[in-house]
Amino acid sequence: EAQVTQNPRYLITVTGKKLTVTCSQNMNHEYMSWYRQDPGLGLRQIYYSMNVEVTDKGDVPEGYKVSRKEKRNFPLILESPSPNQTSLYFCASSSAGTGGYEQYFGPGTRLTVT
């Protein structure tokens, strides 16, 4: 089954404790992306990757890191989480290019930073 998986689905952590949210897709997609969803703000892009070893900042990259060592994986790293990073995070993937390719979304990771 074609899918994007994220782990963990729920995470409660404390300020400053490094964490990683994993994202994996099995569709051989070149493009992967991370979004955060906050009430009243919709989805905002954090980072995206056009292919292996190619990453770029989205609209709200501060406090986040990503890596793309393999095509299928695109982990999101919070080196020193802060309470304002409490949010619902989505990973997405699609074929690359300028066509109307569907972005497939993972189920989301709800992160709480206390």
Type of residue at 10: Y
Kindly report the length of the chain. Answer: 114
Binding mask 37-66 for another protein (x = CB under 8 A): ---xxxxxx--x-x-----x-xx-------
Q: With respect to another protein, which residue has the nearer C-beta, 9 or 18? A: 9
Measured between alpha carbons, how far is 23 from 73 in angstroms, rounded to an integer?
6
Q: Which helix (H) or strand (E) holds 47?
A: strand 42-51
Q: With respect to another protein, which residue has the nearer C-beta, 53 or 79? A: 53
Binding mask 68-107 for another protein (x = CB under 8 A): ----------------------x-x-x-xxxxxxxx-xxx
Measured between alpha carbons, how far is 6 from 103 in angstroms, rounded to an integer?
15
Q: Are 110 and 45 in contact (CB under 8 A)?
A: no
Binding mask 4-43 for another protein (x = CB under 8 A): x--------------------------x-x-x----xxxx
Q: How many of the other CB atoms lie within 10 Å of CB of 100? A: 6
The site for another protein (CB under 8 A) is made up of 4, 31, 33, 35, 40-45, 48, 50, 56, 58-59, 90, 92, 94, 96-103, 105-108
